Amino acid sequence: DLLVVGSANADLVIGVERRPGPGETVLGGDLAVHPGGKGANQAVAAARLGARTALLARVGDDDHGRLLLGSLRAAGVDPVGMLVGGAPTGVAVITVDRSGDNSIVVSPGANARLAAADVRAAGGLFGAARVVSTQLEIPVGTVVETVRSLAPGSRFVLNASPPAEVPAEVLAACDPLVVNEHEARALLGDPAGDDPRRWAWPLLALGPRSVVITLGAAGALVADGLSGPPVMVPSPRVEAVDTTGAGDAFTAALAWRLGLGEPLATAAAYAARVGAAAVTRKGAQASYPTEGELPAG
């Protein structure tokens, strides 16, 4: 089973001609409200592929929270880990202009109240989880408690997104640490050169047992410990329509396949097919494929 510990947000999206400057008001198109947040996205992506998945997350007792609970239920995510109340559901207020550039304000809301105590209270979920996957849209203390709650033999996957300081204790538990180019740069501070193939070893030096760097259309670079050279895993060629949530789908698929016992590079090749499928359709959760919708590897 896969346990995702993470965020759940409502994405409030408004199309505009031009994003407003300071003190400015602009009129936009109709509001669209989508279920999102990296934790919920991961859980939905995995469940849609057929993974037995639970999500430990917190939403508010409000319409946005009910939207998220509905979306998770529809995808087949076990709702046992969903906590309700304490603050409004997290939202991301997103304006997208005609050239596709966006400005985003996130109000973490209930995600900021997902506490270490909630992780401790969810102890039973950890016993059943072969893999536990998380991201950085929840308090870092909650991520630390997640690592401390891992059952013997279960594997920990961290998507270090959005970029934030990660305690050494958390880095040491990662198997793998999953980052895109931007997040890799943030963790390395000043990476040597522009070639991500040279970043795998400096990232491993931060402590994780393995590292996966996602590289968009180019696929992913996989470094399974220090024993051998990093391996490039290509992504299937697809017509990209909207890359929102591709990294979440990739990480979820990777974590699930690792839980099934696949080697890291094999799981990453599967995850690249899932990430590629996710960019062929608009939206985050709405774009996630079922097994039958995956492109050939």
Positions marked active-site: 248
Nearer to ligand ADP, 202 or 216 (CB): 216
Residue pointed to by tokens 């990430």: 275
- Determine, following the binding rule CB under 6 A, whether residue 180 of this chain makes contact with ligand ADP: yes
Angle (CA) 219 179 110, round 5°: 125
- Stretches 56-64, 131-139, 201-209, 237-245: which one binds ligand ADP (CB under 6 A)? 237-245
- Determine, following the binding rule CB under 6 A, whether residue 216 of this chain makes contact with ligand ADP: yes
- Stretches 5-13, 57-65, 124-132, 215-223: which one binds ligand ADP (CB under 6 A)? 215-223
Nearer to ligand ADP, 149 or 210 (CB): 210
Specify the long-range contacts of residues 202-209, CB closer than 8 Å, at least 24 apart.
203/177, 203/179, 206/168, 206/171, 206/177, 207/168, 207/171, 207/172, 207/174, 208/158, 208/171, 208/172, 208/173, 208/174, 208/175, 208/176, 208/177, 209/174, 209/175, 209/176
- Determine, following the binding rule CB under 6 A, whether residue 217 of this chain makes contact with ligand ADP: yes
- Stretches 142-150, 168-176, 195-203, 240-248: which one binds ligand ADP (CB under 6 A)? 240-248
Instruction: Kindly identify the residues of this chain, within the stretch 185-214, that bind ligand ADP according to CB under 6 A.
Output: 214
Question: Does 216 appear as a known binding residue?
Answer: yes
**Rounded CA gap, 64 and 10, in Å?**
6
Question: Does 252 appear as a known binding residue?
Answer: no
**At 140, is the secondary structure helix, strand, or coil?**
helix
255 C-beta neighbours (distance < 10 Å), count: 32
Nearer to ligand ADP, 154 or 266 (CB): 266
Q: Which distant-in-sequence residues (6+ apart) come within 8 Å of 125 by Cβ?
A: 3, 54, 56, 80, 81
Instruction: Kindly identify the residues of this chain, within the stretch 257-296, that bind ligand ADP according to CB under 6 A.
Output: 272, 275-276, 279
**Interface ranges with ligand ADP (CB under 6 A):** 180, 214-217, 219-220, 235, 238, 240, 243, 246-247, 250, 272, 275-276, 279
Q: Which residues are annotated as a binding site for substrate?
A: 9-11, 37-41, 137, 248
